[in-house]
Structure 1
Amino acid sequence: MHTLKRAAVELAYKLGYVVKRKSAFGDNPFLDMKQFVPGDTKPLILDIGANIGQSVTRFKATFPSCVIHSFEPSLETFRKLSQNVSNQEGVSPWNLAVGAAVGPKTFSENTHSDMSSFLELSSTGWGKIINKSTVDMVTIDKFMEDQKIPSVDILKSDTQGYDFEVFKGAEQAMKNNKIGLIYFEFIFSEMYKHLPAFDEVFRYLIDRNFVLVSIYEFAHQNRVASWSDALFVNKEYNKKSA
């Protein structure tokens, strides 16, 4: 039987296919997160860069009892987010940006709302800037303090190249092992100017007691990696869920 399976896998490979077990660990970030989050809890999730609520839908499908704080700096996009999550129990939308410091920040809104960013578009980006507005920015550390949040199960960040700044604003939470999982989009291409290198972000998280779980679904532009999603877990959080 094993010989037959091996022959089938080798044949599939020759034909250009890779055979994997259905829902194998490392394939689906939301199913992988479920392996770490205790099943008898109401996980608390920070949804940074919520856009119109796409992640809320996926998190609620995976963790029905979860509590989500969703952040979206664009006022127009925030209105759509608020409308889309209005019937979702345990979801709080915030018209705030999240970064490394508290205060006002200039935000560039794109014709494609999911391309809006605090960074300037570069060679492989798309759309065009239709508005620049000053938005209020908060750090994760300050938000957790203000809202009396003792710990975060999942920090999701999709801020179009600004995720490293989001992490810097969670320095105390990371130092005290108060964040369990970090799920974020990393951009490899020159989609925006002044993007951090992957090794810089990787080292930052490793130095703060996180380890890489998996990298998911590479997107490519011009035959090279452009962006992908990554999941990291805090070592202490991993021990608790083992």
Structure 2
Amino acid sequence: MSIIFKIADAVKVFLVSGRGLKSLLEKGASVASTRILHNCRHYIPALGTIIDAGANQGQFAVAASHFYPGALIHSFEPLPEVFPILQRNTCRLSSISTYNMALGNSTGTLEFYSNAYSHASSALHVSALQKDILPKTITSHRIEIPVQRLDDLRNELSFISPVLLKLDVQGFEKEVLKGAVDSLQQIDYLLFETSFVQMYEGEPLFDEMHHFVKKLGFEFIAPVGLLQSEGLQFLQMDLLYKRKKNENCS
């Protein structure tokens, strides 16, 4: 994609979403997050709480504060070198709280692969396919990071309904959900990134994740984001689900 096309696309996304061109210059501004949340708002008119797992530099949280100004946002980012950037990008927004840890299916420490392209950092190894498609993800090094189950934190967090759990944890989404079994009873919407090809070694692909969240009691609403290769191969999608209503009569 040429630079001119990228700029034109960014301008269009911010204008159509209602954020305005001035927002493009804000710290943490993101075209992808703005597009995803603009699409989400078609299906979710209001939110009280957003759990932002895999916050990176705060791109999603900053955009979410625009689309859902009444929501309390809890942003989790484990990378020690990225967390200070998240704090700087969100410190002006009182609705955002930040946590220097990962969410997962255990409490303690987690072996993690810090990638030179921070968006690709994960508890899983980057696959050979991803390195080939996205050469900027080739370099990574192993570290240990703090991890907690969402279930162990839910008494410390404000779960004001409606609640959205957003997962952008690079193939580790299923493990986060396994550590949130009790918390999911208070979560109204799930938004997560899933792959159609093996971007990380051992990650569950779309079909497995779709059936898994259905068993957890959620139903599919719509795709709200998309990642394609330069050759237009579908690599990943951001999918939105909502908790099924209890149709049993008392």
Superposition TM-score, scaled by structure 1 size: 0.78
Larger radius of gyration: 1
Within the candidate set 98, 116, 119, 1:93 is matched to 98
**TM-score, structure 2 as length reference:** 0.76
CA distance in 1 between partners of 2:41 and 2:158 (Å): 25
CA distance in structure 2 between the partners assigned to 1:46 and 1:129 by the alignment: 29
Residue in structure 2 matching 1:72, options 74, 77, 94: 77
Q: Which residue of 1 aligns with 2:181?
A: 171
How many equivalent residue pairs? 208
- Alignment-derived partner of residue 145 in structure 2: 135
Residues 56-106 of structure 1: per-residue CA shift (max 9 Å, x gap): 121011011211110001011001101111111111110000111112101
Question: Unaligned 5+ residue runs, structure 1?
Answer: 1-21, 238-242
1:236 pairs with 2:245: yes
- Aligned-pair CA distance for 1:48: 0.3
Question: Can you list the C-alpha shifts for 1:13-60, whole angstroms capped at 9, x where unaligned?
Answer: xxxxxxxxx99xxxx642454355564xx6111000000000012101
User: Are positions 1:120 and 2:125 aligned together?
Assistant: yes
Q: Deviations over 1:108-137 (max 9, x none)?
A: 111100011110011222323443211110
Percent sequence identity over aligned pairs: 28
Is contact 1:73–1:96 with CA below 8 Å preserved after alignment? yes
Q: Which amino acid aligns with 2:80?
A: L
2:206 to 186, 198, 205: 198
1:215 corresponds in structure 2 to 223
Q: 1:107 aligns with which of 112, 135, 159?
A: 112
Question: Which runs of no fewer than 5 residues in structure 2 stay unpaired?
Answer: 1-15, 18-34, 132-136
- Structure 1 residues 194 and 86: alpha-carbon distance in aligned structure 2, compared to 1, 3 A threshold: same
Residue 54 of structure 1, aligned match among 55, 59, 78: 59
Q: Cα RMSD (Å) of the superposition?
A: 2.3
Q: 2:26: which partner in 1?
A: none
- Cα distance in structure 2, aligned partners of 1:36 and 1:227: 21
